[in-house]
Amino acid sequence: MSKTTKLDRMLDKFIISEEALKADGFDDCVLGVDAEGRIVYDAEKMIRHIVKDTGMSYDDAEEHFTFKIVGTDVGDFTPLYVWKA
């Protein structure tokens, strides 16, 4: 039996567009869904995830996140990344 992730539970509960794209490997960083059905991620949690998985420094992980993840626009259903106050 496979582990049910937060994203799996959200897919069952909320209306997520069939076209919505997800950031692979970051299911535990999902905050929710926006009104258009795009998946919303916690940016800070994603950066910490990169640090943990790669051993990068926080600054390097933040740069990687900014340019390689946030900087990648793959259309209308590109995931959203937010920083919580």
Measuring CA to CA, which residue among 48, 45, 39, 51 is closest to residue 84? 45
pLDDT digits (tens, 9 = 90+) for 24-59: 899 999 998 888 888 999 999 999 999 999 999 999
This prediction has a pTM of 0.79
* All structural domains of the chain with their residue ranges: 6-82
| DSSP letter string, 52-68 | HHH---HHHHHHHIIII
pLDDT digits (tens, 9 = 90+) for 1-10: 456 676 666 6
| Long-range contacts at 50-59 (CB < 8 A, ≥ 24 apart) | 53/25
